[in-house]
Amino acid sequence: MSKAQVLHELLARPGLVPAVGAHDALSAKLIEAAGFPVVWSSSFTVSAAQRAMPDVNLLTMTETVEAAAHINRAVGLPVIADCDNGYGNAVNVVRTVEEYERAGIAGLCFEDNIFPKKCSLYPGMRRELLSAEEHAGKIRAAKRAQRDPATVIIARTEALIAGWGMAEALRRAHAYAEAGADMILMHSKAPTAAEVLEFMRRWDRPTPIVVVPTLYPAVTFEELEAAGVKLVIWANQVLRGAVKGIQATLETLRRARRLSALDDHIVTLEEIYRHVGVEEFKAIEREFLPRGQSDTRAVIIGAGSGKSLLPLTQDRPKCMLDIKGRTVLERQLDVLRACGVQDIAVVRGYRKETVVAPGARLYDNDAYEETGELASLFAAEAELHGRFAFLYGDVLFERAVLEKVLRAPGDVVIAVDRAWVDQRDRLLPLAKPVDLVVTSDPPRPSRRSLGEEESDRLVRIGQRLPPDAATGEFIGLACFSARGAELLREAWARARAAGDGPLHEADRASTAAFTDILQALVDAGHPVTCVSTYKGWLEIDTFEDYQRAWAEIRS
Ligand code: SPV
Ligand code: MG
């Protein structure tokens, strides 16, 4: 059913129908939300709100039809558009009808002002009207031009506004009804409803009557209904209420100079989100956009004191070490963002005041001296909900490595460097602790493969594994699905609930490493997927590492 048909049927029912004036799409939405059945796209309020201009035909037909179209698109309600005088003669009226119908407008109102018109409400104006014959011709033109037979054409006379008397008002109303108008709008500037009520007593035709009681506001809905009026237009009160609200808001802001002082004057952001359909927008994004990593956040732990790098770390943590003009942390943020991860949290501890992480949220583990990586990670417990990537704060990754981990399916995914196996003999005996791993199905040199090794699962992880048994090295990069994050939180809660007892290789949960909880997850029967990488990362743990970073990083 077209909106014109909806309006037609609404007007066919007994009783008075209210239409409320909108000045833009949002005010129209509020009118709809408040339960009114019809929106009036008002020339007075559109000129005032959208152009801060008087209502004197300064806006072109194209501008007013565009405003009406925005209003119409924002609501499910039928819209009656104020088409002023049709922006010219009958020829202009024909195009006006075509354009407004194309914009989905259900009703069109044409007034018998000459072009350019002057708003009916302005006091002290000399008023000129078209001849009744000419306006009747415009109404006939409008009726012939309409494509949808249900479109409601309202003929409006300004005879009473111009002070031409009741007889002329009746003569014009008759002429326009005979020309085929679906409704007659009888405008009045009298201070009471008496004039309009007298017209109603003398109106002897079936054509229904519309009134706009702006200047006789005391009249009630019931009085108009009892007089037989069909449609009442409350034309500009929404705009006037909005202006009052804006003024009160501005005055409070001028005095208080603090936004929280406005709380009683303004609606919440959520209310605006609701009216403009932010949820619908998000649903479309979820359904149709490539998933990317916009729903993945990252948590970087950079709390430790980095003693192995003294004196470089005397005044800053490892993550703030500079490598060719950018800190380790900045480089991590850049790689994360390049992979689409925008939502980033950093846990700091040692020399926390020196940590600079633009755009990231900061968490503190002030007990970094006595606690371990897990305690640092859980300092950002608020972040460990939904999908997230975990990063050691002292490791640099190539983008491809991070992308591979982010892409891999699985609730808990870790990156394992297979170069370990080739380098093992050269590295033994180990000069520093290494996060060694044993996986269930490591890639074999004899077997070529393409794509992901989704079946390779973590079996053992830790720094005390026999190096000969290790099939790779954990590089300090992991990714948890929402379920994985839940499993992690549960494993941590279990470890904490058991007192501060041992957790895998750690004597106490509070001092445990990230690898300890990975083993706890495996031991509890939760699969941890191992994504293979071959080099493509650098840990900044020793002075040699730091030198290598300077040598290997090009920019
Ligand atoms: C409007 O709202 O623009 C109207 C009604 O046409 S009035 O302002 O009273 O002319
Ligand atoms: Mg108007």
Cα dihedral 99, 102, 106, 110, rounded to 10, equals 10
Query: What pLDDT is attached to residue 396?
Result: 93
Per the prediction, the chain carries an average pLDDT of: 93
| Residues 47, 49, 54: CA angle, nearest 5 degrees | 35
Q: Per the structure block, which two tokens stand in for 118?
A: 């002057």
pLDDT digits (tens, 9 = 90+) for 141-198: 999 999 999 999 999 999 999 999 999 999 999 999 999 999 999 999 999 999 999 9
pLDDT bin (cut points 50, 70, 90) of residue 446 is low
What single letter denotes the amino acid at residue 160? Answer: L
Residue 107 Cα to chain centre, angstroms: 33
81, pLDDT greater than 90: yes
Q: How many domains would you assign to the chain?
A: 2
Boundary (domain end) residue, out of 235, 267, 298: 235
Q: What ligand 1 atom has the least distance to the C-alpha of 121? A: 9
d(CA 337, CA 323): 19
Nearest CA to ligand 1 atom 8: 44
- Residue 77 falls within a domain, yes or no? yes
d(CA 154, CA 4): 13
CA distances from 545 to 63, 182, 355, 394 (A): 66, 86, 21, 10
Q: Per the structure block, which two tokens stand in for 19?
A: 């239409």
Q: What are phi and psi of 327, to 5 degrees?
A: -75, 165
Closest ligand (CA of 215) = 1
| More confident: 141 or 456 | 141
| More confident: 550 or 383 | 383
pTM of structure: 0.66
Distance 97 CA to ligand 2 centre (A): 16
Distance 120 CA to ligand 1 centre (A): 7
d(CA 470, CA 118): 88
Q: List all residues whose CB is within 6 A of at least one atom of ligand 1.
A: 21, 42-44, 55, 82, 119-121, 212, 214, 235-236
Q: What ligand 1 atom has the least distance to the C-alpha of 236? A: 2
CA distances from 378 to 164, 350, 368, 486 (A): 81, 16, 12, 13
Q: What ligand 1 atom has the least distance to the C-alpha of 44? A: 3
- Residue 164 falls within a domain, yes or no? yes
Boundary (domain end) residue, out of 220, 235, 250: 235
Task: Please choose from 46, 63, 82 the residue to mutate so as to test ligand 1's pocket, defined by most ligand atoms within 8 A of CB.
Answer: 82
Q: What ligand 1 atom has the least distance to the C-alpha of 21? A: 2
452, pLDDT greater than 60: no
Q: Per the structure block, which two tokens stand in for 297?
A: 């956040």
229, pLDDT greater than 60: yes
- Residue 188 falls within a domain, yes or no? yes
Distance 352 CA to ligand 1 centre (A): 64
Distance 50 CA to ligand 2 centre (A): 14
Distance 325 CA to ligand 1 centre (A): 65
Query: If you average pLDDT over each of 122-136, 291-305, 420-434, which comes out highest?
Result: 122-136
The catalytic residues are 55
- Residue 356 falls within a domain, yes or no? no
- Name 18's bridge partners: 232
Distance 84 CA to ligand 1 centre (A): 9
429, pLDDT greater than 80: no
pLDDT digits (tens, 9 = 90+) for 467-526: 888 999 999 999 999 999 999 999 999 998 888 889 999 999 999 999 999 999 999 999
Q: Give mean pLDDT, residues 119-127.
A: 89
Q: Are 292 and 341 in contact (CB under 8 A)?
A: no
pLDDT bin (cut points 50, 70, 90) of residue 207 is very high
449, pLDDT greater than 70: no
- Residue 19 falls within a domain, yes or no? yes
Query: Which long-range contacts does 121-126 make (Cβ < 8 Å, 24+ apart)?
Result: 121/44, 121/189, 121/214, 121/215, 122/54
Cα dihedral 436, 439, 444, 450, rounded to 10, equals -110
Report the candidate in 47, 57, 54 with the shortest Cα–Cα distance to residue 21.
47
Pairing of strands 412-417, 388-392: unpaired
d(CA 353, CA 292): 33
- Residue 545 falls within a domain, yes or no? no
End-to-end alpha-carbon separation of the chain, Å? Answer: 64
Q: What ligand 1 atom has the least distance to the C-alpha of 40? A: 2
Count helices and strands in the chain by DSSP H and E runs: 19, 21
CA distances from 550 to 325, 328, 534 (A): 10, 11, 20
Place of tokens 């790098």: 309
Query: What pLDDT is attached to residue 291?
Result: 64
Nearest CA to ligand 1 atom 2: 42
Boundary (domain end) residue, out of 235, 270, 299: 235
Q: Are 399 and 456 in contact (CB under 8 A)?
A: no
Distance 274 CA to ligand 1 centre (A): 30
Task: Please choose from 108, 113, 212 the residue to mutate so as to test ligand 1's pocket, defined by most ligand atoms within 8 A of CB.
Answer: 212
Query: What pLDDT is attached to residue 445?
Result: 66
Nearest CA to ligand 1 atom 5: 235
Where residue 85 sits, what CATH number does that domain have? 3.20.20.60
- Residue 347 falls within a domain, yes or no? no
Q: Give mean pLDDT, residues 88-96.
A: 98
d(CA 463, CA 442): 19
Task: Please choose from 23, 47, 187 the residue to mutate so as to test ligand 1's pocket, defined by most ligand atoms within 8 A of CB.
Answer: 187
Nearest CA to ligand 1 atom 10: 120
pLDDT bin (cut points 50, 70, 90) of residue 450 is low
Range of the domain at 177: 3-235
* Percent of the chain's residues with pLDDT above 70: 97
- Residue 277 falls within a domain, yes or no? no
